[in-house]
Amino acid sequence: MPASKPISIAIVGGGISGLCLAIGLLHRSQHKISIFEASSAFAEIGAGLALGPNAQRALRLISHAAEQAFRDYATGNSSPTLSKACSHTIAYRGLIPMDNAKDVLGKYADDAYVWCGNGGMVMTYPINSGQVLNVVAACERSSWNEKKYVINSTVEQLSKDFENWGGRPREIIKLLDKPMLWALLDHLPASQYHSRNIVIMGDAAHATTPFQGAGAGQAIEDALVLSELLGRVQCLRDLEPALAAYDTVRRPRTQKIVQTSRDTMKLFAFTDGKVNGDAEK
Active site residue 93: yes
Architecture of domain 84-184 in this structure: 2-Layer Sandwich (3.30)
Q: Residue length, the chain?
A: 281
Strand blocks (E) in the chain: 8-12, 32-36, 84-97, 113-117, 120-127, 132-140, 150-152, 180-187, 194-195, 198-199
Dihedral angle, C-alpha 106, 107, 111, 115, nearest 10 °: -70
- Pick the catalytic residue: 28, 71, 93, 253? 93
Q: Report how far apart the first and last C-alpha atoms of the chain are (Å, whole number).
A: 52
* Domain extent listing, the chain: 8-78+188-264, 84-184
Q: What is the pLDDT along the chain (281 residues), one digit of tens a residue?
A: 444 678 999 999 999 999 999 999 999 988 999 999 988 877 666 566 778 889 889 989 998 888 887 777 665 554 455 555 667 889 999 999 999 999 999 999 999 999 998 889 999 999 888 899 999 999 988 778 888 888 999 889 899 999 889 889 999 988 998 899 998 888 888 899 999 899 999 999 999 998 988 999 999 999 999 999 999 999 889 999 999 999 999 999 999 999 999 999 888 888 877 766 666 66
- CATH fold for the domain made of 8-78+188-264: FAD/NAD(P)-binding domain (3.50.50)
Dmax over CA atoms of the chain, in Å, equals 65
**Residues paired with 32 in a beta bridge:** 8
Query: Is the Cβ–Cβ distance between 137 and 162 less than 8 Å?
Result: yes
